[in-house]
Amino acid sequence: MRFKTLFLACLCLGATLHSASADHAGDVSAVLARIRLPQGFHIALYALAPEARHLAVAPDGKTVFIGARGDKLYKVAADLKAPAKAEIFAPNEKFALPSGPCFAPDGTLFVAEFDRILKFAPASGGGWDEDHPKAVVPQGKLVPPETSHGHGLRVCRVGPDGKLYVAVGQPHNVPPKDKMALYNQWGMGGIIRMNQDGSAREVFARGIRNSVGLDFNPADGVLWFTDNQVDMMGDDIPPEELNRAPRAGMNFGFPWYGGGHVRTHEYADETPPPDVVFPEVELTAHAADLGMTFYRGSQFPAEWRGVFIAQHGSWNRTVPVGARVVFVPMRGGKAGASIAFAEGWNTGKTPYLGRPVDVAELPDGSLIVSDDQQGALYRIFYDGR
């Protein structure tokens, strides 16, 4: 019955798009029928959005923004009655990898791109002023001009302090030693923060290889983040990371450590900084942990109120891992070991049936999951049946 319902919903959405999208929606419905979830949870197609990456739900809960790999940013109405149709946001603006949208509490939209950050003010009649964005960080001023596009997808969050936090990845698997001074100067391989107008920019955290998942713990306002670790060291090392940064100035160990306590070959002869902070949780090696969110709602049972993480899936492992959503329980401010929550996109071989990128919470307490391989968003909800 659930497969039939999803199939009809997908056909309904397809009718509002061109015929190729209708065919694709049917393909997605077949994939969703394979997804395994804990008892009482269900998954359904929420929207189609090309190369769907990171997600941001507007403070009023009425609109979901979807970053992408290309030059377009998308939005969908948060209508839970039927799958939504993605629309291009600010069609006159040529974005460059607008992977990471995020919101301030007043509804100001920030878009973190490869080498700049834009903001769109709320419009007086509703929505946003799509034709007059302001550059918080102008083009060419976020990273050095000669930087390659490796690890070039940015994410952002506005913190409880009102400042804008942006994760900026290292552009290498392991950076050459002669580049480290430059990267440290720009805050690459770290998390930078600034005022919402771009002033008072500083490096909040260092020693990070490539974080593309940030969120603040609603219990205490502390920043947590995922970190993708070094490739080509073996199938089972180094681990991916979930980290906690309660204050500015912390160093999380990269490139001396390739993930967890595993030393990199390139920096094995160097003494690491004395104050390296190791991860709160070590996650499956090469699973590519990307977007994350603390669950704040009440729809899910109490045992599922913690951190949800989208694992994009490995590309350099003998047997692929990841391509799923995992859950990290939180008890008394401490994180436990991760467990599988939504899986089935990984059949044990590549290509995957889908590749989750990010997770976000809707006002009713359900989750949405983005999938850049399928170009789709899914809604996961709980009804106990």
Q: What is the DSSP track for 40-81? A: TEEEEEEEE-TTEEEEEE-TTSSEEEEEESSS-EEEEE--TT
Query: What confidence category does residue 318 fall into, taking pLDDT thresholds of 50, 70 and 90?
Result: very high
pLDDT score, position 81? 64
8 A C-beta contact, residue 246 and residue 185: no
| pLDDT for 23 beyond 80 | no
Give the integer Cα–Cα distance in Å for 241 and 255: 14
Dihedral of CA 115/325/359/219: which sign? negative
User: What are the C-alpha distances in Å from 109 to residues 122, 189, 384?
Assistant: 8, 24, 35
**Which helix or strand (DSSP H or E) is residue 172 part of?**
none
Average pLDDT of span 176-190? 96
State the pLDDT at residue 21.
66
Across 94-101, average pLDDT? 95
Give the domain ranges of the chain: 1-33, 34-382
Question: Contacts for 381-385 with beta carbons within 8 Å, 24 or more apart?
Answer: 381/41, 381/42, 381/44, 381/299, 382/40, 382/41, 382/42, 382/299, 382/300, 382/301, 382/304, 383/40, 383/42, 384/40, 385/40
Mean of pLDDT values over 73-86: 82
Percent share of the chain, pLDDT over 90: 88
Residue owning tokens 């920096």: 267
Centre a 10 Å sphere on the Cβ of residue 372 and count the other Cβ atoms it contains: 24
Exposure string over 174-189, b if 16+ CB within 10 A, otherwise e? bbeeebeeebeebbbb
Q: Give the confidence band of 150 by pLDDT, cuts at 50, 70, 90.
A: very high
* Rounded Cα distance, 340 and 244, in Å: 21
In this prediction, residues 35-61 reach a mean pLDDT of 96
d(CA 379, CA 82): 11
Query: Is residue 23 classed as helix, strand or coil in its secondary structure?
Result: helix
pLDDT surpassing 60 at residue 137: yes
pTM of the model: 0.93
Confidence of residue 18 (pLDDT cuts 50, 70, 90): very low
Report residue 82's pLDDT band, with 50, 70 and 90 as the boundaries. Answer: low
The amino acid at residue 47 is A
Report how far residue 205's alpha carbon sits from residue 100's, in angstroms, rounded to the nearest whole number. Answer: 19
Q: Apex CA 378: angle with CA 375 and CA 383, to 5°?
A: 170
Residue 340 is encoded by which pair of tokens? 């599988």
Among the listed residues 32, 30, 10, 31, the one whose alpha carbon sits nearest the alpha carbon of residue 21: 10
Q: For the residues 302-313, what does the mean pLDDT come to?
A: 97
Q: Which fold has domain 34-382?
A: Neuraminidase (2.120.10)
Mean pLDDT of the region 4-23: 39
Q: How far is CA 95 from the centre of its chain?
A: 18
Bridge partners, residue 87, by sequence: 75
Burial readout 306-340 (b: 16 or more C-beta within 10 A, e: otherwise): bbbbbbbbbeebeebbbbbbbbbebeeeebeebee
- Give the residue carrying structure tokens 């599922």: 304
Closest CA to 292 of 340, 255, 328: 328
The tokens describing 64, both together, are 């979901």
What does the alpha-carbon distance between residue 276 and residue 270 come to, in Å, rounded to a whole number? 14
Mean pLDDT of the chain: 92
Identity at 180, one-letter amino acid code? M
CA angle 226, 320, 10 (to 5 degrees): 80
In this structure, are strands 84-85 and 41-48 parallel, antiparallel, or unpaired? parallel
pLDDT (tens digit, 9 = 90+) per residue, 325-378?
Answer: 999 999 988 999 999 999 999 999 889 999 999 999 999 999 999 999 999 999
| pLDDT level of residue 1 (50, 70, 90 thresholds) | very low
Q: What is the DSSP letter of 352?
A: P
Tell me what pLDDT residue 79 has: 77
pLDDT of residue 312: 98
